[in-house]
């Protein structure tokens, strides 16, 4: 049984559709911060 040659992907060749983890953090944190600010104002 033979395997195809192994190629290491370079760090610069990331998928263009990949969403950054920072984006997920902001999507969760920003509405939470806005909600806390809205409830504290009352």
**What own/partner pairs with CB < 8 Å and gap ≥ 24 does 18-23 have?**
none
- Write down the pLDDT at residue 15: 61
User: So what's the pLDDT on residue 38?
Assistant: 92
Regarding predicted confidence, which is higher, 41 or 32? 32
What secondary structure, in 3-state letters, does the chain show?
A: CCCCCCCCCCCCCCCCCCCCHHHHHHHHHHHHHHHHHHHHHC
- Regarding pTM above 0.85, the answer is no
Residue 11 has pLDDT above 80, yes or no: no
Q: What is the gyration radius of the CA atoms in the chain, in angstroms?
A: 21
């Amino acid at each position: 049984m033979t395997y195809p040659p192994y190629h290491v992907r370079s760090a610069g060749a990331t998928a263009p559709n990949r969403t950054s983890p920072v984006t997920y953090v902001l999507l969760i944190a920003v509405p939470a911060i806005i909600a806390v600010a809205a409830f504290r104002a009352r």
